[in-house]
Structure 1
């Protein structure tokens, strides 16, 4: 038999490894039928995971919040992710971990408490949420008319597949010729965007929402960088008026790092380029990454 082709990435479904193109989940599982899934994504750059333990810790907290108890320990998950990267051979990779709810076991009531939970993971070539070219010119944003799903209904600190509002925001941005949308909550305060946290800069001070958004790992990195660089930074309510009037805006995510914006609702900021604070943080972020900041190197020879 031919050797498996892992050139496009590697996956692990319920304990079995395979090329990513062969990965399948049962169509009848509630992970698919009901979006009953939690997930996390960790980046690999230069052959090393970035903040791997932080991502696994958040993944475990999300599973516990959704009352998911897979058989795998944190060490098992770490080993699965590492194996996926090793099999793929990728030095820059987007590495996802999912916990899916299956279906109740035979003879059990039709209720999620009786459903088996299992882990799926994969490593594929690095994915940019905002391309390097977009980051150089600055992302063009709009404030969406679609509000974020209420936190009382879906906890945004638990990564989930409930993307109906975020997807509507993406279409709003597309229809207006912009790149991304940022979503308000019902009270008119900033939450987040499709797959990223949002920061504003006003009079040299940095701020990001304290509610209605994922507690992003890259977001936490920005808070650390601001403290290190002596930049004032607050985690607090941020009104949409502040967003529209900000001196600078930047976005943060695993699949892109720190991504500056240059327009909001058509208003041009910083001569249509990334602002100085955003650019400084972005440069510092990638410089520290290159120096091994929060890195977990991968032994590609240990196959």
Structure 2
């Protein structure tokens, strides 16, 4: 049985395990002061991780790209995540892993090379980027005025905390009565939204941007599901004109799965409900998850202390 103090979530920070509400990091660490951190998020459903190895591989690639090394191998990180979920007892969970750069070591110049790196992670009840109610009626999106940070400055394939543009887009969506937003790059091409990848469907062909966006694990799953359903899926440049004229739109993320869209900039798509292909992909995604697709079952009977 989970220990009562971990029921709302469990955290690991630099070797110490605590209830999530008690977890903290030093204010002087570069991870906090400079957003010098990378992260990844994996979900647990029906008591099993989904595509855990894929998430660990992406996390490792992000750490290497940012020259971060917590001194732990992938097996160590896997064991920490499993321990946190066991401690919480959660069967449906949102599990995050962060690698942060600490403060410069005493007596050394304030350069990132002189900062120790460490791991922080936590497990909490599952988080929905869009509520099931919003998904059922289809999300309302806008195309944000703020452009996505340029790839030359921030690599979008490396998960990071540089959310300034995404945060502005969320406020713009709120001000315009929408649920969330999609951002364009400086050339006017579609990239991604705050925490999700974007797909358009035109003439039964599913398309998603090939640049300016995270190589999402759920995005990869959608591409696989399209193959299962016999749908043509293209990873290529997507223009905003194409997005606005699409027959269907949907988004996808770890924290929500496949999430259909019913309006873009106030324009009603289809019949103002999730389109048939989007709905089929959403249903297929959760059905395959329930069947154990790409699952890593968690043994909750193992010692969690």
Q: Deviations over 1:46-70 (max 9, x none)?
A: 0000000000000000000000011
Query: Could you say what the CA RMSD is over the residues aligned between the two structures, in angstroms?
Result: 0.8
Q: State which drifts further: 58-67 or 97-106.
A: 97-106
- Shift of residue 107 of structure 1? 2.1
For structure 2, the residue ranges without an aligned partner over 5 or more in a row are none
> 1:11–1:288: structure 2 CA closer, same or farther, 3 Å change rule?
same
- Tell me what 1:108 maps to: 108
- Tell me if the contact between 1:12 and 1:80 (Cα under 8 Å) persists in the aligned partners: yes
Q: Is the 8 A contact 1:65 1:158 kept in 2?
A: yes
CA contact (8 A) 1:35 1:162 kept: yes
| Shift of residue 125, structure 1, vs aligned partner | 0.3
Q: Does 1:125 align with 2:116?
A: no
- The equivalent of 1:73 in structure 2 is 73
Unaligned stretches of 5+ residues in structure 1: none
Aligned-partner Cα distance in 2 for 1:73–1:109: 28
Deviations 1:208-249 (A, max 9, x none): 000000000000000111111110110000000111111100
Q: Distance in 1 between matches of 2:241 and 2:145?
A: 14
How far apart are 1:4 and its partner, in Å?
6.5
After the TM superposition, which residues 1-303 of structure 1 pair with which residues of structure 2 at under 5 Å, given as runs? 5-303=5-303
Per-residue displacement from partner, 1:61-100 (whole Å, max 9, x unpaired)?
Answer: 0000000011111000000000010000000000000000
Separation in 2 of the partners of 1:69 and 1:4? 33
Runs of 4+ in 1 over 3 A off after TM superposition: none
TM-score by length of 1: 0.98
Q: SS of the counterpart of 2:5? A: coil
Superposed CA deviations along residues 88-115 of structure 1, whole A, max 9, x for unmatched, are 0000000000000001212222100111
SS at match of 1:63: helix
Deviations 1:162-186 (Å, cap 9, x if unpaired)? Answer: 0000000000100000001000000
